[in-house]
Structure 1
C-alpha cells in the first residue's frame, strides 16, 4: 500500500512534476484480480477514453443510480479516482469487479485470468451498452420517421428490409481500426478484398524480434495451394492464390497484443514464450491507404509476470505527462524511462526474469504538438 516513506516520496515527486488535477491511485486486489487492475490502469491513462467516460458519468448521473451495468460501474470508478482530494492512495474497485463477475462467468473463479481476454470482453461490452442506449434514444415515433430518413440520408434496401449503417461509438473512435483481407487468384489475377474491424492487433512473436518485424510478418503474403486452394468466383473453380492481411485504417489508440501463450502439441498444453520482442517508445507505421507515415507514442504496457500461462501476475507501466509510473495492484511508484526495456523479454530460452510486455498501448501523435 502507499504508506510511509514510499507514499510520501511519490506524493512529493507528483507535487513537483505533475498537473494539479491528475490522480495516481493503486487498485485493491480481490483475489487474483490483477488482470483487471492492470488493464484498468492502462485505460485510465488513455486520456481520450477517460475523458469520454467522465463525460458519460456526468451526463448520466441519475441513470447510473438506477440501472447498473458495466459502463456505469466503470464510469463511476474513473470518476471516483479523478475526484479524490489527494493525489495518491488506494481505491477498491469492488463494484466494478462484482459486475464483471456477474456479467461473465469466465471471470467468476479465483483462478489466473488472461488480461487480453478481459480487455476484449470489456471493450465489446461497453460498445454493446452504448449501441443499445443510442438505438433506444433514436427509436422513431410515427410522426418523425420521415424527418429521420431525411436526416440519415438514403438507406440501402436489403432483402430483409433496410440496411442500417453501423453506429460509431466513442469506444470505436478511440480503438477501432480496419484490416483488409486480400486474396489474389494466381490464374485470373482477380483480387477479392474483405474488410474487418479490430480493437487490437494480436501478433505472433519470434525470438529476438521487434514490433516492426512482427507487424511485417502479420502483413506478409501467404500462398494458398494444394489442399488450401481458394475458390475463385471468376474462374468458378479452386485455384492457387496469394493471401495477405493489410492494415487499411489505423486507429487513434493502437493496442498490440503479443501472443506470448502458444499451444505446444507435443506437450499437450500452453507454454509461455519469454521471447525478447523490442517495443519502441515511438513507433512509425505506414498507413497503407495513402502511404503516409503515422507516428505513435507508447503510453502503457500490461506486463505478465510468471513462467507459465495458468499462473502468475499482471502489472502495468504507464506514461503520464512525460513520466513513467509502475502500478502493481495497491502499489504505485515512479520509474525511470529506461526501465521499460527490461520488459522486452529474454534473449535466452531460460531466464530468471519472467516479466514480459504482453499488451502495448500506443497513441497516435496526429494533432499533438
Structure 2
C-alpha cells in the first residue's frame, strides 16, 4: 500500500519544530505520536506570539466596499442561525454539514413539506433467504471500496430497497450512462448472482470521480469518507430522478437513504443564569465517537451524549440575557435512525492511528440517549449487521476488510476476493473502524 499522503507535511513540520537536537530530530517508530505531542506543546507559543499589523490604506477599504456592493448576501438566515449558537465550538466539517443540512431552531422537529419516501416503507430485517455476497476483486488499492460495499450490501433495509429499485428513466440499460443509485443496485445484484464466486465491481470503480471528484484511481482512500461520499452521491442521484433537487432541506431528507440511515439529534443549551433553553435539531447519518478515553462502545456513546458545561472562553451568549454566561449543553436523540452507523475515531490529525480495541456487543440499546425516553417513549434497540475493519498504521496506508451477518444468521469475513465464515468471538475482537447496527424494535414513526 502507498505511504500516507500526509508524510511530506509531517516531515516539514518535524523539521521545523525539532531543531538540530532532541528526541524529535530523528525518525522513530512513534514519530506521528511524537509530532502530535510537539505540536500540542508548541501551540501556546505560536498562538500567543505577537503579530505586527499595519493599517490598510483608506483607498483599499473603499475598494473592498465597492466590491461588496456588487454582491447579494446568500443564506442570511443560516448566518443568523450559526450566530445564535455562540459559545459552541463549530468545526469546519460541522460548518459544512450545517450548510448542507441547516439546523432547525425551535422546540419540536418540524414535519416535512414533501415526503419522498415514507419511513414506514423502510423494510428492516432480511425478507426471506438472500445469497451471501460474492467476493470482490481488488483493482489496485480498492480494498476500502470493496469493504464499504460489502458492509452496506449486508444492511438488510438498504439491500431490500436497492433490490426493489427500478431503473431510472434517464439511465442507459447497457450501463454506459447509469446514475449512482442504478450502479449500486446493479452491483448488489451481481454479488447475489455470483454468490460463492467473485465479481469485479467495475461499475463503481469507473464512477469514482462521479461519486467524489477528489477520489483517485489506484490510491488508498479512507473507507468511512468513501461511504459518506457514496451515500451523498446516491441521494443526489435519487433527488434528480424524482425532480426533488429544489425542495427544502427537511423534505430532501425524506429520500430513501435519509429514511434508512438518517436520524435527528436534539441539542439543548441551557443558560445557568436565567434558565432559558435554546433547542436545535440536526439531521445525521452517522455518529463519530471519540475513543481516546473509552474502552467500550457504551463508554464512547456515554461520553458523546454527556452534559457539557460551557464557561470561560467557551461561555454561551444567551439570547435572553444578551451576554455571555455559563451554560450547559446536552445532546440527545430526537429521532433514532432505522440503521445506526458509528465511526470510531481512530485516526489523528497527522495521520497516526489509535489501534486500541473497543469492546462492542451484538445488541445495542439506545434508550438512555433518547430525548423522549424520559417521558415513557418507545424503546429502541439495535442488532449488529456489519462493520469495516482497518489494519495498518495510518488512514491512507493499510488494508480494509468487512464483517457482516448474512440472512442465514452466519457471520462472514469479506477480504477482497476471499469470503469465509468466522465466529462471533473473532468478529467482536476486531479493531472495528465503522460499526453498522439495524433497528429491531420500534414503534411507528412519522416522516
Q: Are 1:322 and 2:409 an aligned pair?
A: yes
User: CA–CA distance in 1 between the matches of 2:248 and 2:216?
Assistant: 38
User: CA–CA distance in 1 between the matches of 2:130 and 2:312?
Assistant: 61
Give the Å deviation of 1:91.
Answer: 0.3
Q: Are 1:32 and 2:107 an aligned pair?
A: no
Q: Are 1:236 and 2:322 an aligned pair?
A: yes
Match of 2:436 in 1: 361
The structure with more strand, counted as a fraction of residues: 1
Change (3 A) 1:208 1:220: closer
Match of 1:80 in 2: 190
User: CA–CA distance in 1 between the matches of 2:275 and 2:433?
Assistant: 39
Change (3 A) 1:55 1:163: closer
User: CA–CA distance in 2 between the matches of 1:21 and 1:227?
Assistant: 55
Q: Which runs of 4+ in 1 moved over 6 A?
A: none
Q: How many residues align?
A: 307
Change (3 A) 1:300 1:278: same
User: CA–CA distance in 1 between the matches of 2:210 and 2:171?
Assistant: 20
Match of 2:109 in 1: none
Select which of 76, 95, 104 maps to 2:212: 104
Deviations, residues 266-292 of structure 1 (Å, cap 9, x unaligned): xxx231001221111111111322344
User: CA–CA distance in 2 between the matches of 1:244 and 1:238?
Assistant: 18
Change (3 A) 1:207 1:163: closer
- TM-score, normalised to structure 2, is 0.65
Q: SS of the residue aligned with 2:441?
A: coil
Match of 2:241 in 1: 133
Change (3 A) 1:207 1:222: closer
Deviations, residues 46-94 of structure 1 (Å, cap 9, x unaligned): 11111211211x354873437422222111111222234xx31000001
Could you say which structure has the larger radius of gyration? 2
Match of 1:271 in 2: 352
Q: Are 1:166 and 2:247 an aligned pair?
A: no
RMSD across aligned C-alpha pairs, in angstroms?
2.3
Deviations, residues 269-320 of structure 1 (Å, cap 9, x unaligned): 2310012211111111113223443211111110001122230010001111
Change (3 A) 1:67 1:181: same
Map residues 139-178 of structure 1 onto 2, 5 A cutoff. 166-167=251-252, 168-178=254-264
User: CA–CA distance in 2 between the matches of 1:186 and 1:207?
Assistant: 28
User: CA–CA distance in 2 between the matches of 1:193 and 1:21?
Assistant: 43
Change (3 A) 1:247 1:365: same
User: CA–CA distance in 2 between the matches of 1:96 and 1:166?
Assistant: 28
Q: SS of the residue aligned with 1:172?
A: helix
Q: SS of the residue aligned with 1:123?
A: helix
**Quick check: 2:134–2:192 contact (8 Å CA) kept in 1?**
no
**Quick check: 1:208–1:275 contact (8 Å CA) kept in 2?**
no
Change (3 A) 1:165 1:228: closer
**Quick check: 1:207–1:277 contact (8 Å CA) kept in 2?**
no
Match of 1:124 in 2: 232
Map residues 268-347 of structure 1 onto 2, 5 A cutoff. 269-286=350-367, 287-291=370-374, 292-320=378-406, 321-343=408-430
Give the Å deviation of 1:21.
Answer: 4.6
Change (3 A) 1:312 1:277: same
Change (3 A) 1:37 1:246: same
Give the Å deviation of 1:127.
Answer: 1.1
Change (3 A) 1:78 1:164: closer
Give the Å deviation of 1:244.
Answer: 2.0
Change (3 A) 1:336 1:234: same
User: CA–CA distance in 2 between the matches of 1:367 and 1:61?
Assistant: 35
After TM superposition, the structure 1 stretch with the greater mean CA deviation from structure 2, 279-288 or 105-114, is 105-114
Q: SS of the residue aligned with 2:243?
A: helix
User: CA–CA distance in 1 between the matches of 2:395 and 2:203?
Assistant: 27
User: CA–CA distance in 2 between the matches of 1:243 and 1:367?
Assistant: 27
Match of 1:3 in 2: none
**Quick check: 1:29–1:330 contact (8 Å CA) kept in 2?**
yes
